[in-house]
Amino acid sequence: MAKAPVLTPQADDFPRWYQDLINKAELADNGPVRGTMIIRPYGYGLWERMQQEMDARIKAAGAQNAYFPLFIPQSYLTKEAEHVEGFAPELAVVTHGGGKELEEPVVVRPTSETIINASFSKWVQSYRDLPLLINQWANVVRWEMRPRVFLRTTEFLWQEGHTAHATYEDARDYAAYIHKEVYEDFMVNVLGIDVLLGRKTPRERFAGAVNTLTLEGMMGDGKALQMGTSHELGQNFARAFNTQYLSRDGRQELVWQTSWGSSTRMVGGLIMSHGDDSGLRVPPRLAPVQAVVLAIKDDEAVLAKVREIGDRLSAAGVRVQVDDRTDTPFGRRAVDWELKGVPVRIEVGPRDLENGTAMLARRIPGGKESVALDALAGLLPAVLDEDQALLLEQSRARRASRTSDVTTVEQAVEAATAGGWARIPWADLGEEGEARLAEHSVTVRCLIAEDGSVPGSDDAPGNVAVVARAY
């Protein structure tokens, strides 16, 4: 009888494969409250690496980290009508505290535009206080009716940036800078995902924004995942919270604002972009563990050598872990590391020591080869760079091969339901066609210009709508 696969094959049931992988790779569990998740150490290690890489880029963009309260007075959300309308179905509201009914209900933050603007209105007095660039790493709660671990959970972790500027142009340019130089740079060069940059239609725009810039990734099943967004808020929240500054000309002016965010949804995107039927494949630049050194047998000389190799690789700048748990069968440990997607396994046994070699197993392209022990430290950086590039190349090739150019709503729906994306001229689709797409659970993920760049306006001539089914 054939041995049952460790994971449900992607081709058989992609959602089941996804859930199997999260469980078998020990990334997360469901929480006790419906829609919540427990992020296990290995999954949280991936998130920590994402935080580190993102945080460095955010700070390079001039933003500083701060923290704002989890509880928001309900009256704050009602100050911006479009914002509260957009989030009302997802709000968790606290009505009692300390055994008493609260005088005013408080909302568990779904996002922090309102509470941060209440502070901005106090902190900003003069043009000298601008631009004000703030980011926070936090949790948010949005009551999710169709939860899926990492992709849609009632509580999730994220970063949210909020800024105030003296002019529309400054705010617009900063939102675009975050979109490209922070988010795209990280997602392409660290996550290895070929994201598409575009502009959301008014129907898909963030509640309370005047423009939303998005990054869309194609997953292994051809669906789209919104990986991050950067919003121009105009003066909507400034008007609601009276956030003004004294200009150089001595006039009171409303500030112009942005907000932008990315979340633990990126962990889901990582899984669905790069995972295969053997498990996760983690890009080397992201991987908490880039190489694991495994002792095949409980042999003193082998154990000493794997620890020595670990020290040498660590000194060479490789994030390495030594697996000397020889009381656990080698085959089981190898499968576990394969499931977790560690880019490189270095396997050492008594026969390898005799030959002065180790077996090098590469998770991303697959395959094994015997390598001289003395060559490992010099070889590994180049191997990791090759594997990083390969993941991005595969992501790029998938999107190119599964994107079709169409001219009708029917063709767009057909392409999306077949597991791909469609490009259709916005002039041929329009808002009426966008509404018809929604009847088939298909959405316009973004608008792009004819040359593939981000268009300057919703109705710019030549805009193309990118259409897909989405998570």
Cα–Cα distance measured from residue 306 to residue 283, given in angstroms and rounded to the nearest whole number = 23
Q: Is 16 in a helix, a strand, or coil?
A: helix
Q: The tokens of 247 are what? A: 């200009």
DSSP per position, 35-100: T-EEE-HHHHHHHHHHHHHHHHHHHHTT-EE----SEEEHHHHTTSHHHHHHHGGG-EEEEEETTE
Decide: helix, strand or coil at residue 444.
Answer: strand
CB 316 within 8 A of CB 379: no
Decide if 238 contacts 256 (C-beta within 8 A).
yes
Sign for the CA dihedral angle at 51, 119, 230, 441 comes to positive
CA gap 317, 471 in Å, rounded: 37
**Per-residue model confidence (pLDDT) at position 301:** 96
The pLDDT of residue 1 is 54
One-letter amino acid of 308:
E
Give the global pTM: 0.95
In tens digits, what is the pLDDT along the chain, a chain of 471 residues? 566 789 999 999 999 999 999 999 999 999 999 999 999 999 999 999 999 999 999 999 999 999 999 999 999 988 876 776 777 888 999 999 999 999 999 999 999 999 999 999 999 999 999 999 999 999 999 998 899 999 999 999 999 999 999 999 999 999 999 999 999 999 999 999 999 999 999 999 998 899 999 999 999 999 999 999 999 999 999 999 999 999 999 999 999 999 999 999 999 999 999 999 999 999 999 999 999 999 999 999 999 999 999 999 999 999 999 999 999 999 999 999 999 999 999 999 999 999 999 999 999 999 999 999 999 999 999 999 999 999 999 999 999 999 999 999 999 999 999 999 999 999 999 999 999 999 999 999 999 999 999 999 999 999 999 999 999
Q: What pLDDT was estimated at residue 88?
A: 81
| pLDDT at res. 400 | 97
Q: What is the pLDDT of residue 376?
A: 95
Nearest to 141 by CA among 55, 216, 48, 31: 31
The whole-angstrom separation of Cα 418 and Cα 61 is 40
Q: Are 72 and 140 in contact (CB under 8 A)?
A: no
Residue 86: the pLDDT is: 73
